[in-house]
Structure 1
Amino acid sequence: MTPYDKLESKLSLVYLINLIFYIIPLFNVRFALWQYVSMVAALLLFLLCYFWAYRCNRKEMHWPIVGIVVVAALITQVNPGSISMFAYAGFFIGYAYPLRRFLLLMALLIALLVTLDLTLTIHWNLFLIMGVPIVLAVSLLGRAEQAKQRHRLAELQSEDEIKQLATMVERERIGRDLHDILGHTLSSIILKADLAEKLLARQHTDAAQQQLTELSQIARDALSQVRQSVSGYKHQGLTAEVAKLLNRLRDAGFQALLIGDMPQLDNRRETALILALTELATNVIRHSNGDCCQLSFDQQDKLLHINLHDNGNVTKVTEGNGIKGLRERLSAIGGQLTTTYTDGFNAAIQLPLQEQM
Structure 2
Amino acid sequence: MSDNFNQALADKRNPYWLWGPLAFSIFYFLPLIFNLSVFIGPRLVGVFGIYLAFLALYKKAIFAKGEKVLLPTLGIIFLCVLGTYITPGTQALFGYAAYFCGFNFRFNKGIQGLTGILLAIVLSAELFSYRDAFFLAPALIVSIGLFFFGQAERKDRLHKQKENISQQKVEHFAAIAERERIARDLHDLVGHSLSSIALKANLAEKLISKNHHEKAATEIHEVASLSREILAQVREAVSGIKQYNLPKQIEKLVSELESHNITVKKNIDLTSLPPHLELPLIFICTELVTNILKHSSGDQVLIDIQTTCVDDQVLALTIKDNGQVLAPNWGNGLTGIKERCQLINAEFTINTQDGFCARITLGKE
User: Secondary structure at 1:317's aligned position in 2?
Assistant: coil
C-alpha distance in 2 between matches for 1:4 and 1:270: 49
2:142 pairs, out of 107, 130, 134, with 134
What is the correspondence of 1:190-339 to structure 2 with a 5 Å cutoff? 190-232=198-240, 234-298=242-306, 299-301=308-310, 302-339=313-350
User: Secondary structure at 1:260's aligned position in 2?
Assistant: strand
CA-to-aligned-CA distance 1:113-150 (integer Å, 9 cap, x gap):
12222232238542212211111001111011101101
**Could you tell me which amino acid in structure 1 is paired with residue 334 of structure 2?**
I
| 1:22 correspondence with 2:28 | yes
1:177/1:233 contact within 8 Å kept: no
| 1:151 correspondence with 2:162 | no
CA-to-aligned-CA distance 1:335-355 (integer Å, 9 cap, x gap):
221111111111001135x8x
Identity %: 31
C-alpha distance in 1 between matches for 2:287 and 2:73: 67
Unpaired runs of 5+ residues, structure 1, are none
Shift of the alpha carbon at 1:308?
A: 0.5
C-alpha distance in 2 between matches for 1:87 and 1:52: 16
What is the correspondence of 1:39-54 to structure 2 with a 5 Å cutoff? 39-54=47-62
Unpaired runs of 5+ residues, structure 2, are none
Deviates most, 23-32 or 270-279:
23-32
1:13 pairs, out of 13, 19, 22, with 19
Q: 1:328 to 1:316 in 2, by over 3 A?
A: closer
C-alpha distance in 2 between matches for 1:231 and 1:268: 18
User: Secondary structure at 2:126's aligned position in 1?
Assistant: helix
**TM-score, structure 2 normalization:** 0.91
RMSD (Å) for aligned C-alpha atoms: 2.0
**TM-score, structure 1 normalization:** 0.93
User: Secondary structure at 1:61's aligned position in 2?
Assistant: helix
**Could you tell me which amino acid in structure 2 is paired with residue 103 of structure 1?**
I
2:101 pairs, out of 63, 76, 93, with 93
C-alpha distance in 2 between matches for 1:123 and 1:98: 31
C-alpha distance in 2 between matches for 1:119 and 1:273: 84
1:77/1:121 contact within 8 Å kept: no
Runs of 4 or more, structure 1, over 6 Å off, are none
User: Secondary structure at 1:230's aligned position in 2?
Assistant: helix
C-alpha distance in 2 between matches for 1:55 and 1:337: 59
C-alpha distance in 2 between matches for 1:8 and 1:289: 73
Shift of the alpha carbon at 1:242?
A: 0.4
Would you say how many aligned residue pairs link Structure 1 and Structure 2?
Answer: 353
C-alpha distance in 2 between matches for 1:266 and 1:209: 42
